Amino acid sequence: MKCIAYRGGYKYQLKQDYKVDIPIKPESDKESVFITLTSAGLLTIKKGYAWDGPSGPTIDTQNFMRGSLVHDALYQLMREEHLDDNLHREMADRLLQSHCEEDGMSSFRAWWVYQGVRFGGGPSADPDKKRPAKYAPEGCP
């Protein structure tokens, strides 16, 4: 039997590389399969990166997409232990808020978005909460 391994929970896939300067500047460059963060704060999210978009009780609007992309990439770096969630999670949450505002979200809604990730986002940055692999067809490992 031929099996596949995959992870679920993704809705969007990046069609071209995205680069942005951010205030998170690790001591050394950090690299994951689809994400690079330099010590100068240049975050590169590579074409093909998949993310779930805005989470929680919200609507996936255009003014939420870029913020959710950057936020999900930073949380992934935390889950993979390239960044310390205790040091960088709040800044990642603030970046989500500021990107949403820059993209036209009302400051009130962006503030609620920030409050939501501060309240409920911790497990998503926790290295112990990596998404498990799923297998198909039935009977695979």
Report the distance separating Cα 123 and Cα 141, nearest Å.
26
Report the distance separating Cα 92 and Cα 56, nearest Å.
17
Residues 6+ positions from 84 with CB-CB distance below 8 Å: 78
Q: For 76-88, how does the pLDDT look when each residue is reduced to its tens digit (9 = 90+)?
A: 999 999 999 999 9
pTM beyond cutoff 0.85: yes
Closest CA to 55 of 17, 93, 103: 93
Domains of the chain by residue range: 7-119
| pLDDT per residue rounded down to tens, the chain (141 residues) | 799 998 888 899 999 999 999 999 999 999 999 999 999 999 999 999 999 999 877 889 999 999 999 999 999 999 999 999 999 999 999 999 999 999 999 999 999 999 999 998 888 888 877 778 899 998 898
Sign of CA dihedral 33, 39, 45, 46: negative
Quote the pLDDT of residue 111. 97
Quote the pLDDT of residue 129. 76
Report the distance separating Cα 20 and Cα 29, nearest Å.
15
Quote the pLDDT of residue 55. 82
Asked if the peptide bond before residue 127 counts as cis, ω within 30 degrees of 0, the response is no
Closest CA to 42 of 14, 73, 15: 73
